Amino acid sequence: MIDFEKIGRYSKAGPRYTSYPTALEFSEDISLDKYLKSLKDAPKDQPLSLYFHLPFCRSACYFCGCNVVYTSKEDKRLRYIDYIKKELAVLVKHLDNSRKVIQLHFGGGTPTFFTANELDEVIQSIRKSFPNFSDDAEISCEVDPRYLNEEQMKVLQKGGFNRISFGVQDFNLQVQEAVHRVQSFEMTKKSVDLAREYGVKSINIDLIYGLPYQNLETFRDTLQKSEMLGADRFAVFNYAHVPWLMKTMRKIDEQTLPEPAEKLKIFKYTIDFFKERGYKMIGMDHFAKPDDELFLAIDKGELNRNFQGYTTKGGSQLIGIGLTSIGEGNGYYAQNFKDMKSYEESIDRGELPLSKGIFLTDDDKIRKAVIMELMSNFKLDIKRFEDKFKVSFQDYFKEELPELKPFINDELLTFDDNHIEVSETGVMLIRNISMIFDGHMKKYIGSKKTFSKTI
């Protein structure tokens, strides 16, 4: 049984924090030569995961925290496709493109803001550049139901897309108008039905709680309508209001945002709602049917987390392609330029558009391993960790371990010489627990950097 009184207490006391996987800060001083060497030297048997950022939207959704280019001009989309193709041509010069691709994801922006022909051109370029897709590759696309038609769906089917994530957020009209995204239930259902008609086996629905004018009653109605869509997974995120980072969020009247107590009521009801309907909870924000592969991965201790959320496709080298995209490899993170001019100029010079990133120290790698294991599988096999890194867990984290005591005392986790295991309630606070092992966190708190709340 989840103890929401404890969750509320920790959510009020916890620091403001959001990061992946730690509070590492990317630097513009990252070495391009060292990055290219990392691409070249990756093990030939390490699979690839490809993320393509398709950044264009017609208009702003005020809650959105993504890097987006607002436009209605077709020539901008066509020009971007040309540069995606040029970037691919540069990329394959620096890595072994015969390696197996196990994951491909189109993120945005609004990927389906591109026409069917434009999407097909991108997909064909990818298949030409990376010809070795595994038979069970996870090929997914984020979809705004306001921009999806049958011709686009035919292209996605031909391209092998087997997962679609539909952005819904909320079905209440007052909420939709406040965040500048009006989309009816009927429109959304039509898009979901179209995806099913074209053989998409896994459908996810994104919802957000904490938006303007939301309360328990209105969100209950959204949940009931969302269930009627028959999705396999739901992601229910806590809205992070960071107007100092995202200018569009300044258009939201903060007086209309629900109070923390109301958000906790919504959160509790959401968990009960999905449990009663046979869904199981994964971490703080994902719900899936019991036969979903995510649960099989948890049982085996093989669930992983990347920039797209929870996944069973671990151990791959993530390559980010397109404006602002982030990649992750063995000991590094790398991000492309955020502004179009710098992105294009780099590619025109025949270079990858690397803007910033970081190479991990041995300490970073050790701490990342602990954090990712806890956030993915909600337990840590200490002996296996010690065998891998050749360190004593108790000695290495002697300064951090006393900070676990409040969680232990509140029965949010158990800790002995062999394991750390998080309880059902503790999973709701997995970010608070994990950040104890984040060596960069104290520096950030001390420097007065501001983050979104954990709950």
The CB-side HSE value for 440 (13 A sphere, CA atoms) comes to 20
The verdict on pTM exceeding 0.85 is yes
Q: What is the tens place of the pLDDT at every residue in 242-297?
A: 999 899 999 999 999 999 999 989 988 999 999 999 998 887 788 998 888 887 77
Q: In the prediction, which pLDDT does 443 show?
A: 65
Do residues 268 and 222 lie in contact, with contact meaning Cβ atoms separated by under 8 Å? no
What is the residue-wise DSSP string for 319-373?
A: EEESTT-EEEETTEEEEE-SSHHHHHHHHHTTS--EEEEEEPPHHHHHHHHHHHH
Q: In the prediction, which pLDDT does 311 show?
A: 79
SS3 labels along 35-85: HHHHHHHCCCCCCEEEEEEECEECCCCCCCCCCCEECCCHHHHHHHHHHHH
Q: What is the dihedral of CA 372, 376, 382, 385, to 10 degrees?
A: -50
Query: Can you tell me the mean pLDDT for 23-33?
Result: 83
CATH 1.10.10.920 maps onto the chain at 361-444
Burial class (CB in 10 A: 0-12, 13-18, 19+), 215: middle
Compute the distance between CA of residue 285 and CA of residue 360 in angstroms, rounded to an integer: 28
Q: In the prediction, which pLDDT does 54 show?
A: 96
More confident residue, 95 or 431: 95
Do residues 46 and 102 lie in contact, with contact meaning Cβ atoms separated by under 8 Å? no
Q: What is the mean pLDDT of the chain?
A: 90
Q: In the prediction, which pLDDT does 452 show?
A: 46
Q: In the prediction, which pLDDT does 296 show?
A: 76
Kind and range of the H or E run holding 443:
helix 441-446
Phi, psi angle pair for 18, to nearest 5°: -155, 130
Compute the distance between CA of residue 267 and CA of residue 4 in angstroms, rounded to an integer: 9
Provide the 8-state DSSP code for 121: H
CATH 3.80.30.20 maps onto the chain at 24-320
Q: In the prediction, which pLDDT does 454 show?
A: 52
Compute the distance between CA of residue 81 and CA of residue 84 in angstroms, rounded to an integer: 5
The angle that helices 4-13 and 260-276 make with each other, rounded to 10 degrees, is 140
List the strands of the sheet with 413-415, edge to edge. 379-381, 419-422, 413-415
Q: In the prediction, which pLDDT does 425 show?
A: 86
Do residues 429 and 412 lie in contact, with contact meaning Cβ atoms separated by under 8 Å? yes
CATH class of 361-444: mainly alpha
CATH number of 24-320: 3.80.30.20
Q: In the prediction, which pLDDT does 1 show?
A: 59
Is the omega angle on the peptide bond into residue 109 within 30 degrees of 0, that is, cis?
Answer: yes
Give the number of other Cβ atoms within 10 Å of residue 186's Cβ. Answer: 9
Length of the chain: 455
Compute the distance between CA of residue 241 and CA of residue 179 in angstroms, rounded to an integer: 12
Q: In the prediction, which pLDDT does 15 show?
A: 35
Query: What's the token pair of residue 267?
Result: 């959160």
Q: What is the tens place of the pLDDT at every residue in 155-202?
A: 999 999 999 999 999 999 999 999 999 999 999 999 999 999 999 999
Residue 448, pLDDT > 60, answer: no
The CB-side HSE value for 6 (13 A sphere, CA atoms) comes to 20
Q: In the prediction, which pLDDT does 441 show?
A: 74
Identify the CA nearest to 39 among candidates 103, 99, 84: 99
Do residues 3 and 264 lie in contact, with contact meaning Cβ atoms separated by under 8 Å? no
- Report the b/e string of 69-96 with b at 16+ CB within 10 A: bebeeeeebeebbebbbbbbeebeeebe
Collapsed DSSP state (helix, strand, coil) of residue 318: strand
Compute the distance between CA of residue 101 and CA of residue 104 in angstroms, rounded to an integer: 8
Q: In the prediction, which pLDDT does 16 show?
A: 35
Distance of CA 219 to the CA centre of its chain: 23
Between β-strands 304-306 and 309-311, what pairing exists: parallel, antiparallel or unpaired? antiparallel
Query: Can you tell me the mean pLDDT for 88-94?
Result: 97
Query: Can you tell me the mean pLDDT for 82-89?
Result: 98
Do residues 206 and 166 lie in contact, with contact meaning Cβ atoms separated by under 8 Å? yes
Collapsed DSSP state (helix, strand, coil) of residue 109: coil
